[in-house]
Every structure is written in structure tokens, then in C-alpha cells.
Structure 1
Amino acid sequence: MSPVSRAARWRTQIVAVAALVVLWNLFYGRFSVGNLLGGTVVALVVVTVFPLPPVAFEGRIRPLAVLRFLARFVVDLFTASAQVAWTAVRFGHTPRSAVIAVRLRVRTDLNLTLTAEALSLIPGSLIVEADPASGTLYVHVLDVVDHHDVEQARRKVLALEERIVRAVGSADDVRHLDDPRPADDPHLRNDPCPGNGENR
């Protein structure tokens, strides 16, 4: 791999700071001057204390695809919040959860990180483990009943990945979305929490 230029490293740091500022404001639930300034300070501290490895961003930012991703992300955020709230208040209902393995189609560190971060922000889903070698995310999902629910959760993760790749991925990454994807790891680990039921 050729050495990464100083300019490429600066671009990587700038992208990281911008992403952290957006995440900071999403955590607070609204964009404001105070949140933007506070997020910028926190982001600068993070990238200074924990510098990113010298990996250049080789993707391409597509504004319309970015807007589509953001719009769908906001919808997913509110929908998932409502579903989690309904699950919490349903009388006599014991939700079952599971950890599913989802093998991403674009196996780059950037795609793995962006997909994992976006997924972790959506209520009801949490990244338990990530395997960069195989491009696999192990995702904890809430309120699953059968294999249909598991497959539906897996499809949602892959759809999220596709929106991210089409928004900021390289042309080669986009082509990978249309390639035949190897079968997902059928391994499904049972959540250790009580009341989750049997292995599937």
C-alpha cells in the first residue's frame, strides 16, 4: 500500500471531526450553536488524543444520496424509538432479543465503521462485535419472535449499508452492492438475557 500523503491524512481528520460533530448533535437531539461548538471541541480532543490510522478516504460524496440517507435515517430513528417505547409499555409482553451475524457486502474498514456507528444510533439495535477480516457485524436486535424477524433485521442492516455506500462510497464499492453476495454466516448466538427463549 502506498504511503498516505499529508493532505490525505488531513482530509481524514477533517471528515472524522465533521462526523463526530454530527453524532454529538444527534445524541442531544437537536442542532444548536452551543451543541455545534461543544461537539467541535470534543471532536478535536478525540482526534488529538486518539488519532485515526493513516487511511485515506477514497470514496465519493454524492449530495443527493447523502440527503436520502439522512432522510431515511431520521425516519428510522423515530420509528425505532416508537417501537422500543411500545415494547416497553406493553402489559404482559416479554420481549425476546437475539444477536445476529450480518456479513456486509463492502468489506472496508470505513464502511464497517460507518454502518456500525449508524446502526448503534438507532434504538433497539446495538453492535456487539465487529469482525473486519470477514466484514461481519454481530448485531443485538430487540423483540424478535422467529426466523422471519431475524431475516428482516438482517435485511435492514444491509439496506442501511447500501444507503451509506451509495452516499459516500467509491465507484468500486457501489459495484460491490450489485455483485452476488456470499451467503451470510448462519450463526445466530442466543442472547444471554433471561426470557429470550431457545437457540434458533
Structure 2
Amino acid sequence: MSEREPNTDPANPALPPRRSGLQWRTILALAIVWMVLWGDLSIFAALMGLLVGLIITLAFPMPPVRFAGRFRPFRVAWLLVRLLGSLTVASIDVIRAILRPGPPLHSGIIRVPLRVDDDLYEALVSELASLVPGSLVIEARRSNRTLYLHVLEATSADDLAQARLQVRRAEDAVLAAFGSREEQAAIRQSPGDEEEAP
């Protein structure tokens, strides 16, 4: 698992400290996003983007995100292929569930404890789970690495188990694409949590 930085927040000992000082890479990335959103590649837009990035990073400092894994291009490509396949299948399922005659859909909220202990992996798993139609991450708890998802069709325990399994598969795919060997071995040894959420 990735090593966490020493904590200086007595209110929550599980969270690493926030960054202080100028974060030039983040400021530059925000400036590029600013120019793309405005569709303007002028010097004025670049300066405004840098100013906005500076204000955002000073007003909302974020903790550092460490990456101790490896980038595997073929696994990343397979992750994208799986995402497209999941998007297609889930979109068809959602359309069929909405158009199906009968009683209204019963949605639900499930709790899925993650096995990964890393900010970047948690964010990627959350995005993958939210991108697929029919499920939406409504809360991601960083302190205990738990996702809470709204599931569109939750009429039975099998539906909830299937939604939980989709998150587990996304987690496995993220680790296969970006995780180090040590992280992958730790995930294989950790038992899955099959507890049903309320």
C-alpha cells in the first residue's frame, strides 16, 4: 500500500496534511483547463488562467497525491475497452428498466468498502463507478475508503450484490492498470467484504 504522509490534523488522524506554498504544476494544469474552457489561446487568457489557478490553489490547498504504482499501457487500454463495454450494456439495461411496464423502479443505496488505500485509486474507482449508467457515487469517505452508491435498480439482494461486484471489478481493473506488484499482492490477500448495506 502507498505510504501516507505524517498527519498534522488532530481532528482527523487518518488524513494527511494539506499542502502549503505554491503548487506550480497544479496552477499550470488549471490554466490550461481555463484556456480550453474559454476557447482562447491568447496571452491574456493564459495570464488569467494562471491567476485563477493561483487563487484556487491558495484558497483550497489539497493534500499531495502520491503515485507509487506503474503505468501499464495495455492494461489501461483494456480498462478503457471494459469501460466502453460496461457503458453500452448498462445503458441498454437502464433503457429497458425505464421502458418496462409494471411497478416503478426501486432504487437503493449500497455501501462498498474499498480494498485500495490510496487517494488516486479511490478517485479512479469512484469515477468508473459513476460513469456507468444506473449507479452514482453519492459519497466517498477518504478516512475509511468507503464508497456509497445510489443504484437505480435494487429490487433484490442479487441486484445489490451485482452492483457491489461491479465496483469490485472496477477496483481490480484500476489496480491491474496502475498498481504496483506489492499493491496487487496486498489486494489479493485482503478478504472481500460481502456485508449487505442498508
TM (norm. structure 1) is: 0.69
Q: 2:126 aligns to what?
A: 116
Aligned residues: 166
By how many angstroms is 1:184 displaced?
4.3
For residues 88 and 163 of structure 2, the distance between their equivalents in structure 1, rounded to whole angstroms, comes to 17
Q: 1:148 aligns to what?
A: 158
How do 1:172-187 and structure 2 match up within 5 A? 172-181=182-191, 183-187=193-197
| Amino acid across the alignment from 1:174 | Q
| Pick aligned residue for 1:59 from 61, 66, 69 | 69
What do the CA deviations read for 1:31-72 (whole angstroms, capped 9, x no partner)?
Answer: xxxxxx44998xx78865356432222221111110110000
CA-atom RMSD, angstroms? 3.4
| Amino acid across the alignment from 2:106 | R
For residues 150 and 186 of structure 1, the distance between their equivalents in structure 2, rounded to whole angstroms, comes to 8
Q: 2:177 aligns to what?
A: 167
How do 1:76-155 and structure 2 match up within 5 A? 76-155=86-165
Flag the 1:63–1:40 CA change in 2: closer, same or farther, 3 A: farther
| Amino acid across the alignment from 2:68 | E
Specify every segment of 5 or more residues in structure 1 that has no aligned partner in the other structure, as ranges.
Answer: 4-8, 22-36, 189-200
For residues 140 and 94 of structure 2, the distance between their equivalents in structure 1, rounded to whole angstroms, comes to 24
Flag the 1:153–1:47 CA change in 2: closer, same or farther, 3 A: farther
For residues 165 and 174 of structure 1, the distance between their equivalents in structure 2, rounded to whole angstroms, comes to 6
Flag the 1:131–1:78 CA change in 2: closer, same or farther, 3 A: same
Q: 1:195 aligns to what?
A: none
For residues 53 and 195 of structure 2, the distance between their equivalents in structure 1, rounded to whole angstroms, comes to 34
For residues 39 and 120 of structure 2, the distance between their equivalents in structure 1, rounded to whole angstroms, comes to 21
Flag the 1:168–1:127 CA change in 2: closer, same or farther, 3 A: same
Residue aligned with 2:137, SS: strand
Q: 1:30 aligns to what?
A: none
